[in-house]
Structure 1
């Protein structure tokens, strides 16, 4: 009887030792986007910007946004690529030069989780700046034809170079099957789709003097109100809501000065860039 008892105790002990331990909780750095038409409107150097004479602008209603690159930078002297890179979207050479692969982009609406990175994979440091390279915007704008105002949808490509097979703007799809440089747009109107190339794209970078971005890229840079500290000992998720300024971010040549976008009168798109970022950390 005594031997049976000892055997039973041993078996229980072995089974207890084999029982899996509860996994260590994983906490993440989470990014979401918000679009704010009342946020400051900035220029390429992070200064307040007004609309030049002869142009007009409106704050579009965003449907989708895609980003190509996320990076945390410790200081204003950290060169692009030398910080902690959190995300780099798929690229392809199908169109010749290296380009963003539009088909593999992540499309998200306002307040949806865009990116989630385990905090255990982020170098413990204090970070003063966030860099995000934006790639594609889809939004609604108003336009005028023969004195009547309508709503149309714009597919706005602000990434450095994008390989596009097909793009559905709202209800209509166009085939491109080529690389398109920053500033390419397609505008779905009542009667069809217009296409064009904006001559410029605003990309605010307040530390351009010490940490410039490559020409033609859409790497927007912003400073945290309070530096972001990653210790490696976090016991909860960190949620960063990136407030994107779309304050009159759709800008055009206003030939008749009436403040209405009238493409049928030859008015052309001038700029479609992001007009600044602010981060809210929870």
Structure 2
């Protein structure tokens, strides 16, 4: 009987040892990790991807962006790869609840500065060498400064819907509920400060969407597909054993622009100064 107990104990020890060995030999699959970064010191670009200054008669400031959402990310092999013909690695939720096809804001993916936007196994990404990345931006939220009619400076929270079309039911903006229940085209915005809220619409086509491939690979009017070039090509071989991390660094350099009524460089909505541009001002993809 004692011999039988010793034999059973030995078998249990062997089984536990084998189980531990199997666990130690298990390796996790490497991933492609996409992070976001918002940089107010990055170059300020126009629609053609060239440096531009603030338009005459306007003023601008660099908002403190808190979070952002994108609806589409694509790696492009070269400057002649047309939109949709590259390696599409992310597509966000869409809906037709509001009538036409639109970004589904309630089911969108968000990330803040230096945060992970999404992760995908590298086994789901086709091998290739990629020089460019395209990102269809959907939403950005951040703080801006403004001058009130009492002569004091305040800070408010701005929600900018820069996607081609977005269905919005309701959303929380700094503790205030904004009710929309409709599709909104690119340029819709909402603003909150001290419990007061306002909504508006930037002019059609006014949102800047930098695309250095303006001539060789255009994007549709009204979309917000920002294009950026890798300093060195991103190589996906299929033999990776470690995660590949790509940080999408967006320029917020004077990206909030308005028409000046009082030429003082301060945003004064009470004076009738109108928002004309909320588009980000460039994209640099960085392989960490």
Does the Cα contact within 8 Å between 2:67 and 2:141 map onto a contact in 1? yes
Q: TM-score, normalised by structure 2?
A: 0.90
Give 2:274's aligned residue. Answer: 268
Aligned equivalents of 2:287, 2:113: Cα separation in 1: 16
Give the superposition deviation at 1:189. 2.5
2:104 paired residue among 89, 101, 104: 101
Structure 1 runs not aligned, ≥5 long: 1-10
Q: 2:223 aligns to what?
A: 217
Q: Determine the C-alpha separation between the residues in 2 that align with 1:191 and 1:112.
A: 28
**1:128-207 alignment to 2 at 5 Å?**
128-146=131-149, 147-190=151-194, 192-199=196-203, 200-207=206-213
CA shift at 1:27, angstroms?
0.5
Unaligned runs of 5+ in 2: 1-10
C-alpha deviation, 1:121, in angstroms: 1.1
Task: Give, in angstroms, the shift of residue 23 of structure 1.
Answer: 4.3
The aligned residue for residue 265 of structure 2 is 259
Partner Cα distance (1:57, 1:167) in 2: 26
Q: Provide the C-alpha distance between the structure 2 equivalents of 1:82 and 1:279, rounded to a whole number of angstroms.
A: 19
Residue 214 of structure 1 and its aligned partner are, at CA, apart by 1.2
> Are 1:48 and 2:48 matched, yes or no?
no
Shift of the alpha carbon at 1:240?
1.1
**Structure 1 residues 72-129: Cα deviation after superposition (integer angstroms, max 9, x where no partner):** 0001111111101001000000000000000001121111110111111111110010
Q: What do the CA deviations read for 1:176-226 (whole angstroms, capped 9, x no partner)? A: 000000000011133621111111110100001111111111110011000
Match of 1:89 in 2: 92
The alignment's C-alpha RMSD in Å is: 1.9
TM-score, normalised with respect to structure 1: 0.91
**In structure 2, distance between residues paired with 1:268 and 1:163:** 24
Secondary structure at 1:77 match in 2: coil
Native 8 Å contact 2:59 2:258 kept in 1: yes
Determine helix, strand or coil for the equivalent of 2:112.
Answer: coil
1:32 aligned partner: 35
